[in-house]
């Protein structure tokens, strides 16, 4: 009997703890980058279902989530099946004409509808778009040695505002185009940051395959719970941020210096990690504090 009461009390206290955050974040835009690795976790279907539940819950309590997704491992899989070699330079996939077609097929044809469908199990919430739709992402070639890898030159967020105003959850595949209609393959981390800035998002959240930033990649105990753009500049200069973490951290630094409230790096493999970050006092993962951001950390400006 008393255990039943304890369990019920715990459930109630979790809901009560969420209340101030539900109030605070009502109407706020949260850009969530869902990496291909998070999607390709041990149990793909379960990981995606849990993620979809979090997005739907955020939307139902009045937040305005925007999903930007990757699909790197999935592009590599198809390339392998087609007998094509994959080559990365500084974390970016060397993209010839055939590879940009493959990237477009995988991102807009496979990963995007998978995420949209998982969200829409719960109702008619999600709409998938690519950066080509509504001229959302204008891009230009980054470096001719990388082929059709794009740098974002401009974000035209009208199509996203339209979807948000109609209460949809935009799900964005990161293919952009130049003024001549040429498609480019763009790193999803970079796009998420640029979109968060253009929307003046309250939060930019990266879901990845590690619990957050570490001072020493090999030491789980060195997790950084809260940091600033200035401190991150130093960690980058010291070579502590490496590999696939570099574009995430660069985007977080840029975003919090350009109007985004806070940025977060979280472990997408943890069940309901988004809810744990947004709706609990303790938060989770690494938070990069912006100038205007509010935090979920106890004793802060809650």
Ligand X SMILES: Nc1ncnc2c1ncn2[C@@H]1O[C@H](COP(=O)(O)OP(=O)(O)O)[C@@H](O)[C@H]1O
Ligand Y SMILES: CC(=O)N[C@@H](CCC(=O)OP(=O)(O)O)C(=O)O
Task: Please state the residue numbers annotated as binding site.
Answer: 71-72, 93, 185
Tell me which residues in 193-212 interact with ligand X (CB under 6 A). Answer: 208-210
Tell me which of 14, 243, 271, 298 binds ligand X, using CB under 6 A. Answer: 243
Residue 131 DSSP code: T
Residues whose CB is less than 8 angstroms from the CB of residue 23 and which lie 6 or more positions away in sequence, other chains included: none
Contact in structure between 36 and 1 (CB atoms under 8 Å): no
- Residues making up the binding site for substrate: 71-72, 93, 185
d(CA 227, CA 231): 6
Q: Which of 70, 72, 147, 212 is catalytic?
A: 72
For the segment 31-50, give every residue that binds ligand X (CB under 6 A): 35-38
The reply on whether position 242 binds ligand X by CB under 6 A is yes
Site for ligand X in 57-96 (CB under 6 A): 70, 72
Interaction of residue 151 with ligand X, rule CB under 6 A? no
64 close to 29: Cβ distance less than 8 angstroms: yes
Distance (Å, whole) CA 196 – CA 188:
12
Of the residues 28, 108, 203, 248, which is catalytic? 248
Q: What is the full DSSP assignment across 134-167?
A: GG-EEEEES-GGGBSBEEEEEE-THHHHHHHHTT
CB-based contacts of 196, cutoff 8 Å, min separation 6: 29, 31, 203, 204, 255, 260, 263
Q: Under the criterion CB under 6 A, does residue 244 sit at the interface with ligand X?
A: yes
Q: Residues with Cβ < 8 Å from 186, sequence gap 6 or more?
A: 131, 137, 139, 149, 150, 151, 152, 174, 175, 176
291 is a site residue for ligand X (CB under 6 A): no
259 labelled catalytic? no
CA dist., res. 75 & res. 35, Å (int):
12
For residue 84, indicate whether it is catalytic. no
Nearer to ligand X, 162 or 243 (CB): 243
Query: Is residue 103 a contact residue for ligand Y (CB under 6 A)?
Result: yes
Query: Of 70 and 193, which CB lies nearer to ligand Y in the complex structure?
Result: 70
The reply to whether 6 belongs to the active site is no
Q: Is 36 annotated as catalytic?
A: yes
Residue 266 β-bridge partners: 207
* 198: partner contacted, choices ligand Y, ligand X, none (Cβ within 5-8 A by kind): none
Q: How far is the CB of 223 from ligand Y (least distance, A)?
A: 21
Residue 242 contact partner, candidates ligand X, ligand Y, none, CB within 5 to 8 A by sort of partner? ligand X
Q: Is 33 an active-site residue?
A: yes
Among ligand X, ligand Y, none, partner that 187 touches (CB below 5 to 8 angstroms by kind): ligand Y
Residues near ligand Y (CB under 6 A) are 35-37, 70-72, 75, 92-93, 103, 149, 174, 185-188
Which residues participate in catalysis according to the annotation? 33, 36, 72, 189, 248
């Amino acid at each position: 009997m008393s255990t039943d009461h304890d369990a019920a009390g715990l459930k109630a206290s979790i809901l009560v703890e969420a209340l101030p955050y539900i109030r605070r974040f009502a109407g706020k835009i949260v850009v969530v980058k869902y990496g291909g690795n998070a999607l390709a976790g041990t149990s793909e279907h379960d990981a995606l279902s849990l993620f979809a539940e979090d997005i739907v819950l955020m939307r139902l309590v009045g937040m305005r989530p925007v999903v930007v997704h990757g699909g790197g491992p999935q592009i590599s899989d198809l390339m392998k099946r087609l007998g094509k070699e994959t080559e990365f330079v500084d974390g970016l996939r060397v993209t010839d004409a055939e590879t940009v077609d493959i990237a477009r097929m995988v991102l807009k044809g496979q990963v995007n509808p998978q995420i949209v469908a998982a969200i829409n199990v719960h109702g008619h919430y999600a709409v998938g778009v690519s950066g080509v739709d509504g001229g959302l992402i204008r891009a230009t070639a980054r470096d001719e040695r990388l082929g059709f890898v794009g740098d974002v030159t401009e974000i035209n967020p009208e199509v996203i505002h339209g979807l948000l105003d109609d209460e949809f959850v935009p799900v964005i595949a990161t293919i952009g185009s130049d003024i001549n209609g040429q498609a480019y393959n763009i790193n999803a981390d970079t796009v998420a940051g640029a979109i968060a800035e253009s929307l003046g998002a309250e939060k930019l959240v990266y879901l990845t395959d590690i619990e957050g930033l570490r001072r020493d990649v090999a030491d789980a105990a060195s997790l950084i719970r809260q940091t600033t753009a200035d401190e991150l500049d130093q960690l980058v200069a010291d070579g502590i941020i490496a590999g696939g973490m570099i574009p995430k951290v660069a985007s977080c630094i840029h975003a919090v210096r350009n109007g985004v409230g806070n940025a977060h790096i979280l472990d997408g493999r943890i069940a309901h990690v988004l809810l744990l970050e947004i709706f609990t006092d303790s938060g989770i993962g690494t938070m990069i504090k912006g100038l205007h951001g509010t935090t979920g950390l106890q004793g802060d400006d809650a």
